[in-house]
């Protein structure tokens, strides 16, 4: 299988899978190294294929017809991160990203794509294993999340849960 055939196979595998696929799983299917898969995904993205990275692996970014999105502004430290993310996913939300505003660089964004407690747990485990700092540490804890949900009612429930947990930033 040459590079172009392999990239077509990656698109086919991701398009047909309801779940994210790890680079390792894709490398086994295509019988190449994980690093080759990383390169292939970069090439596919450059060609406009909507592949996203999640804490559970790669997946295709699907169209969200009929879904609603809202940006929530939050402020907290590491001690409230789990509570914040679970407030969103437990109320039907998908956390697409985290964004902070930097004085020099402008907006800095990290992709998350968290849909469930399982995704939240995997993300928090990766953060702990990497001993990683929160992106929002740079901005004094203030950050935004783009959140998607099925209905405005779910977004209102998410807003209320974030407010109750004390992480919603309100002037």
- Does 143 show up as a binding residue in the annotation? yes
Q: Which residues, 6 or more positions from 10, have their beta carbon under 8 angstroms from its beta carbon?
A: 26, 30, 37, 40, 41, 44
Instruction: In whole angstroms, give the CA distance from residue 132 to residue 152.
Output: 33
- Does 113 show up as a binding residue in the annotation? no
Helix (H) or strand (E) holding 157: helix 152-164
Is the Cα dihedral 52, 56, 59, 65 positive or negative? negative
- Does 145 show up as a binding residue in the annotation? yes
* Residues in binding site for Ni(2+): 76, 84, 143, 145
Annotated binding-site members: 76, 84, 143, 145
């Amino acid at each position: 299988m040459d590079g172009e055939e392999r990239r077509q196979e990656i698109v086919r595998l991701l398009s047909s899978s309801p779940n994210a696929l790890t680079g390792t799983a894709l490398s086994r299917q295509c019988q190449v190294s994980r690093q080759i898969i990383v390169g292939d995904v970069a090439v596919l993205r450059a060609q406009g294929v909507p592949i996203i990275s999640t804490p559970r692996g790669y997946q295709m970014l699907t169209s969200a017809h009929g879904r609603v999105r809202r940006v929530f502004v939050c402020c907290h430290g590491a001690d409230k991160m789990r509570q914040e993310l679970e407030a969103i996913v437990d109320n039907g939300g998908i956390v697409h990203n985290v964004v902070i505003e930097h004085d020099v660089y402008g907006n800095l964004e990290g992709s998350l794509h968290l849909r469930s407690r399982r995704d939240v747990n995997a993300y928090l485990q990766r953060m702990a294993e990497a001993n990683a700092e929160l992106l929002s540490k740079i901005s004094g804890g203030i950050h935004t999340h783009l959140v998607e949900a099925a209905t405005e009612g779910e977004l209102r429930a998410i807003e209320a849960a974030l407010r109750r947990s004390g992480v919603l930033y309100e002037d």
